Structure 1
Amino acid sequence: MQDRTEQKKQLRSRLRKLRDRLDEQMREEASTRMNDGLKRELDRLRLSKNRHMRKPLNIFSYLSYGSEASTAFLFEEGWKQGDMLLAPKVLADPPRMELRRVTSREDIEPGVWGIPEPKASCEVLHPENWPDLDLVLVPGLGYDLQGGRIGYGGGYYDRFAEQLEMQCAERSKRPLMAALVLPGQLEPEIPMDPLDLRLNLLITPEGILHIE
């Protein structure tokens, strides 16, 4: 039987190549449809916070880089609607992410490996306040219909999700965990380990999939 670590390594390699080679026109069309679905979901979440008026959201999202599904629309739409937008700043010792608030493009700079991240001057959202998040948008290479996800192998989002779960258990409140799924990223089954992050929402070009 193939070793789980090797299985994941090969799957990451295959999915990264598929994503990197995605036709640009297909990518643009898929992004437009996903953004339409994302806007509807954001509107639904705002109304669900208050039936009588749309309330701003607290959103944590990756800042897209390279061939990743673009999150530019999410940030522009969120800033326009008055949402609180947070993005990850990677720290090395121990390996972890800080959630820092970004209020405009001026708050963003190239970080580790050239990946965009918040500046050091940006406000930190401390873990005890993470349950106040409404939506978390995570990056990844592949997903399945059971909420499975395979990331890049660093474990940053899995560690974040584990700490988030501990905080949420004390508050009985937790955000939706979501992903933008480009063509070719949906797999029949993603090999998952017990502590791997699982998703509640897949935003695809064909529509939004809510996972029980």
Structure 2
Amino acid sequence: MQDLAELKIQLRSRLKQSRDLMDVSMRQQAMTQINAGMKRELEHLRQAKSKGSNRPLIIFSYLSYGSEASTACLFQEGWNHGDVMLAPKVLAESPRMELRRVTGEQDTEPGIWGIPEPKNSCVVLSPEDWPKLDLVLVPGLGYDLHGGRIGYGGGYYDRFAEMLAAKCAMTDKKPLMGAMVLPGQLQDKIPMDLLDLRIDLLITTEGILHISNKGL
């Protein structure tokens, strides 16, 4: 019987290949639908947060690279509304991520693997302030309807989620953990370790799915 690690390796390879080979027109159509869903969800979050105070959202999202679901529209939407937009800067020697504020494309540059990330001049959000986040948009290769996610194997977002949960345990606030799901990424079941992060919100071409992870 295959162990969990081997299952994950094979699933990553299959899902990565499928995503890389996606037809360009299919991808564009999918992103149009996903971006429309994301805008609706952001508007709901703004309405729930503001309650007359018109406070900006605080959003942490990956900067898309290669065949990933594009976050360009999300960042532009956030900047247009005056939201606080944060992106990860990878500290490979740690290994962990810093959350740095980006106010426009001029604040980003290629990182150690060529992936876009904030410049060193961008302000860092202290881990003590992580509970103030409203939405975390997580990259990945596959997802399921139970909140399961399979990433790229580095564990950066799993470690971040563990630290975030510890910080949020001292408050009454916890951000939504969301993902944008391209065609072919939604699976029947993702093999999960106990400490793997789980998703609360899936933005798909079919609509928005809110997931309850209670008891999982």
- TM-score normalised by the chain length of structure 1: 0.99
Shift of the 172–53 alpha-carbon distance from structure 1 to 2, 3 Å rule, reads closer
1:57 and 2:57 equivalent? yes
1:90 and 2:87 equivalent? no
Matched with 2:101 is: 101
Structure 1 Cα separation of the partners of residues 209 and 196 of structure 2: 20
Structure 2's unaligned 5+ residue stretches are: none
Structure 1's unaligned 5+ residue stretches are: none
Contact 1:110 1:117 in 2 (8 A): yes
Matched with 1:112 is: 112
What code does the residue aligned with 2:72 have? A
Q: 1:93 offset after TM fit, Å?
A: 2.1
Q: Tell me the SS of whatever aligns to 2:100.
A: strand
Contact 1:60 1:136 in 2 (8 A): yes
1:193 and 2:186 equivalent? no
Q: What is the root-mean-square deviation of aligned Cα atoms in Å?
A: 0.8
Alignment of 1:128-139 (within 5 A): 128-139=128-139
Q: 1:53 offset after TM fit, Å?
A: 5.7
Alignment of 1:32-181 (within 5 A): 32-52=32-52, 54-181=54-181
Q: 1:57 offset after TM fit, Å?
A: 0.3
Deviation digits for residues 97-146 of structure 1, max 9, x if unmatched?
00000001000000021000000000000100000000000000000000
Structure 2 Cα separation of the partners of residues 167 and 51 of structure 1: 25
Which of structure 1's runs of 4+ aligned residues deviate more than 6 A? none
Matched with 1:21 is: 21
Structure 1 Cα separation of the partners of residues 102 and 61 of structure 2: 11
What code does the residue aligned with 2:35 have? N
Q: Tell me the SS of whatever aligns to 2:15.
A: helix
Deviation digits for residues 50-73 of structure 1, max 9, x if unmatched?
233643100000000000000000
What code does the residue aligned with 2:165 have? E
Q: Tell me the SS of whatever aligns to 1:113.
A: coil
Contact 1:47 1:55 in 2 (8 A): no
What code does the residue aligned with 2:153 have? G
How many residue pairs end up in the alignment?
212
Percent identical among aligned pairs is 69
What code does the residue aligned with 2:19 have? R
Contact 1:59 1:83 in 2 (8 A): yes
Q: Tell me the SS of whatever aligns to 1:139.
A: coil
Structure 1 Cα separation of the partners of residues 112 and 171 of structure 2: 33
Q: Tell me the SS of whatever aligns to 1:114.
A: coil
Structure 2 Cα separation of the partners of residues 54 and 211 of structure 1: 27
Deviation digits for residues 141-198 of structure 1, max 9, x if unmatched?
0000000000000000000000000000001211000000000000000000010010
